Amino acid sequence: MKTLIVYYSLEGNTDYAAKRIAGSIGADTLRLVPKKAYKDKGFSKFLWGGKSAVMAEAPKLEPYDADLEGYDRIVFGFPVWASNFTPPLRTFINEHRAELAGKEIAAFACQSGSGAPKALGKLKDALGIDDFASEAIFIDPKQKQSEATDTAIDEFSEQLK
């Protein structure tokens, strides 16, 4: 099954997981990059990122090449912001809604605290689906790299094979 991992990563955790999954299952990756970068330090990181997620913003993205026709499955990856998925994914979904119809969809969320189950639910709602083919939650896989977290990523990858 030809798979594309579409993800946004602010601090490298989602990037780490996406690349590990892609290497394990032979998937292609598409990292979404907003034209206006989110703050990555201090209180403003939480204030502006959280506000953007709660307000369901859809930021403009740097140009990317994504022909979804050649993919059977799309895996979405994101950090959890205020119990929401990150806004760059909303932009991608809005731009490719018709192309996503009929695809198998899986997702993984990276978090430091809590909120991932709610964020995954909101992603399902945004996609207009009842369930993911597979889903996972990882706790800071790069920043708190551990054998247990790598094993969890590998187990999610196995579900996608």
Does residue 108 surpass a pLDDT of 90? yes
Does residue 128 surpass a pLDDT of 70? yes
Does residue 101 surpass a pLDDT of 70? yes
Q: In angstroms, rounded to a whole number, what is the distance separating the alpha carbons of residues 103 and 68?
A: 9
Closest Cα to residue 82, out of 126, 111, 50, 39? 50
Fold classification of 3-160 (topology level):
Rossmann fold (3.40.50)
pLDDT score recorded for residue 144: 84
Residue pLDDT, tens place only, 14-28: 999 999 999 999 999
* Tokens encoding 103: 């695809």
Residue pLDDT, tens place only, 25-51: 999 999 999 998 766 666 555 545 555
Closest Cα to residue 125, out of 156, 93, 160, 150? 93
pTM for this predicted structure = 0.93
Domain ranges of the chain: 3-160
Separation of CA 138 from chain center: 11
Closest Cα to residue 8, out of 58, 43, 69? 58
Distances (CA, A) of 80 to 59, 71, 115, 158: 16, 26, 7, 23
Residue pLDDT, tens place only, 129-158: 999 999 999 999 887 888 999 999 999 999
